[in-house]
Structure 1
Amino acid sequence: MLDAPIRWQAAFTDPDVRDLLEDMQANILKSHGRHHAAHMALGFAGMAADDVAAVIRALGRHCTSAWHQLRTNRRYPPHLDGGPVRCLVLGAGGYKALGKHARMPEGEAFRAGMAARAGILADPPRQAWQAAGWRDQAPDAMVLLADADPHAVTRDLEAVERWLDGTGVRILVIERGLQQTRRFRPGEKPEAVEHFGYVDGRSQPIFLAEDLAREEQSVAAEPKDKADPGAPWSPRFKPSQFIVADPNGRRRHAAGSYFVFRKLEQDVRGFNAAEDALGRALFGQDAGDDLLELAGAMIVGRFEDGTPLVRSRKALGQAVPNGFTYDGDTDGAKCPFHAHIRKTNPRGDVQRQFGLPDASGDRNPIMARRGMTYGPKRPMSRDGSEFADKGKEPVQDSGLLFMAYMASIEAQFEFTQQSWANNADFVRPGTGVDPVIGQTADPAQRQHRFQDGHTPGATPTTQPFAQFVHLQGGEYFFAPSLSFLRGVGL
């Protein structure tokens, strides 16, 4: 079942698909899509294994299955609404606390924990993380509560807090998520954006057949790019890239997924000022808003509305293309090699650069991202199309709760961060680190080459771009099957 996209509606007639979906937690196959969430990190220190198992069983009984999520969703992205979604993930510490009741999932990275992998990721040490909650110890588990209604999330959160009181479980930190949105085109629904103002989550791997049919139809309808005559980039991925067997599952098709959680604080005011400074350095001190926006697109790889820079010098004002590749921009003139989306989703650059027979090197590290913003909601213009806090943007306490599911932490998340985002020589020597999430102590690796490849005769120039995204905490987890959560210790 994991070798091809899963058709969830087959569960009405196929008992194997039904068994898989009933035992898998929500949010893995498809984002829960709710705009409000709470993420409660828990510690089990000092608790007996039987007591830990009892707590996990009780929480597990309230977790949402993939089957329930898919049946109750009433709208499609970015506004899913099918009631509450509740999930429970366990860190290595959680499995250790369970003792003989559970086998530890495989993987050196998972077993070591995220803080111990700082040298691989170029992360700051735990001592430099957010003081409240993250700095003291690694969480053993995390409860995710999500709903379209923020008051419903608060009620759920308070109910869990009351129930945990007296169990011996320590609540380490609670991270509230509030998805920021913008309306880019009149008459259309607002879209999820991160605090820098760019559409977030546009390019996702799809391994649910019903969603894939819609996306492939959309890609087929995109205007063709004469400079990129090749086949469009496919959103089709095997579920086995994100779903693995649960070593502790109790049902025939028990499955789960490795889950990475990172709290990434964004200095929005600094980023916006640096974008404007870059635009003036590239296009002159009198550069207008369109050129300043172009400079930002050279950092991100897309304009704010999601239009890929490789396809247009300005936003198209229509449905955003997503089937693009970089086949027509092999010199990185239109979309720089360092641009965030090109660094972390190279779409054929790896195959081309290293002469590989297929694009597996470009596709295999891709993760199923499920992140959402945190921090106060930024004020918007009356029509919801622009932020209304120019010069007063947040510099701290706002950012992205990065979350992603995958089959291998080492081969997907860590590879992407270390070998792509942090590697100044990917995809070519001298490219520089990813200017958005790249981490390095060497200022020279934050120098990037810029060229407006859409304008004949444009002169390349090299400019620095500082780091405005900072890790404040996080951990590696595993999202177990519901049969394990509800039966552990029995």
Structure 2
Amino acid sequence: MSTLISVGDAIRKYGDAQGNILKGHGRDHTTLLLVEFTDQANAREWIKQLLAGLSTGPSVLDTVRVTSTEKQLRDREAFKAAGQTADAGLFTSLVFTADGLQYLGAPAPQESQNQTPGQGRSGAFAAGMRAAAVHGLLRDPDPTDWEGEWWEDATAGKPSKIHAMLLLADNKLAERLQPAVNFMTERSESLGVRVRITQHGKRLVEDGHDIEHFGYADGVSQPLYLDNDEGTAPPTHAIRR
């Protein structure tokens, strides 16, 4: 029996959670700001401002505010109703590393306990992607081969501190996304939130279909959660009891 849920039920159950979980954000352009906190009080103020919203232009669509699941799903329904022409504006997401949560004095999330020790993802979040057991499991390159910006001092084996990642995404790169990135970089630095790494991404499409950048199946292997997604992917993607 299928357990797909309606958009309304998803909003009631998960509406206060961040977006980009049940559905991808769907924008064409993305910028990731990986940051280091240098003062706990200022870091908390930075987070509060992101939750409240920061205007980066004359339109409400220019507002940098952590996008909730409710807003994302309502915007998605409006987009479909308008024949995929509606403009939902900036999408914003904020995620933390284990070190970032510790710096803020927040408890780390409980990781899954139903996995064989040393296998699966057990302990991976706390260990971080530089840990040998983690990057080996993912078959990632050795951290010593990572790009220089990931290291404060590569020779001494001292990595850059990463406490959080701010994701900003939009379809309008020059008009809205880049100004928002510039604004948030300056605002973050003014609060002692140091932008250590900035990375840019662009959606790849060929013959009307998304292309995964590294050949992985993430975009086509995720399970479906919403009942109005039925028919858009093989039925094996649906969550079932």
Q: TM-score, normalised by structure 1?
A: 0.38
Q: Please state how far the C-alpha of 1:72 moved relative to its aligned partner.
A: 1.2
Contact 1:215–1:235 (8 Å) recurs in 2: no
Contact 1:41 1:142 in 2 (8 A): yes
Offset, 1:148: 1.2
Q: How far off is 1:58 after superposition?
A: 1.6
Would the alpha carbon gap of residues 138 and 198 (structure 1) be closer, same or farther in structure 2, given more than 3 Å must change?
closer
Give aligned-pair identity as a percent. Answer: 32
Choose between structure 1 and 2 for higher RCO, CA contacts under 8 A separated by at least 6 residues: 2
Number of the residue aligned with 2:130: 115
Q: Which residue of 2 aligns with 1:86?
A: 92
Deviations 1:105-133 (A, max 9, x none): 12321111111123433433322101123
Give the one of 127, 141, 159 matched to 2:144: 127
Quickly say closer, same or farther: Cα 1:68–1:215, change in 2 above 3 A: same
Aligned to 1:177: 201
Give the conservation status (yes or no) of the 8 Å contact 2:149–2:160: no
Secondary structure in 1 aligned to 2:124? helix
- The equivalent of 2:236 in structure 1 is 234
Give 1:160's match in structure 2, choosing from 169, 184, 197.
184
How far, CA to CA, are the matches of 1:180 and 1:142 in structure 2?
22
Give yes or no for the alignment of 1:54 onto 2:45: yes
Residues 181 and 198 of structure 1, relative CA distance in 2, 3 Å threshold: farther
Amino acid aligned to 1:106: Q
CA contact (8 A) 1:37 1:147 kept: yes
- Report if the CA contact (8 A) 2:97-2:163 is conserved: yes
| 3-state SS of 1:173 partner | strand
Shift of the 121–80 alpha-carbon distance from structure 1 to 2, 3 Å rule, reads farther
List aligned pairs for 1:413-452, cutoff 5 A: none
Conserved in 1, the CA contact under 8 Å of 2:31 and 2:200? Answer: yes
Which structure shows the higher helix fraction? 2
Task: Identify the match of residue 26 of structure 1 among 9, 19, 31.
Answer: 19
Letter matched to residue 51 of structure 2: G
In structure 2, relative to structure 1, the CA distance for the partners of 1:72 and 1:126 (3 Å cut) is same
Partner of 1:95: 101
Question: 1:145 deviation in Å?
Answer: 0.6
CA distance in 1, matches of 2:218, 2:17: 25
Shift of residue 201, structure 1, vs aligned partner: 2.5
Opposite residue 55 of structure 1, the aligned amino acid is: W
- How many residue pairs get matched? 204
Q: Are the counterparts in 1 of residues 224 and 238 from structure 2 also a CA contact under 8 Å?
A: yes
Partner letter of residue 68 of structure 2? S
Determine if contact 2:212/2:219 at 8 Å carries over to the other structure. Answer: no
Partner of 2:109 in structure 1? 105
Matched residue type, 2:200: R
Unaligned stretches of 5+ in structure 2?
53-64, 112-122
1:426 equivalent in structure 2 = none
* Structure with max Cα Rg: 1
Indicate if the aligned counterparts of 1:72 and 1:83 stay in contact, CA closer than 8 A. no
**Structure-2 change in CA distance of 1:27 and 1:52 (3 Å):** same
Cα displacement string for residues 220-239 of structure 1 (whole angstroms, at most 9, x for unaligned residues): xxxxxxxxxxxxx521126x
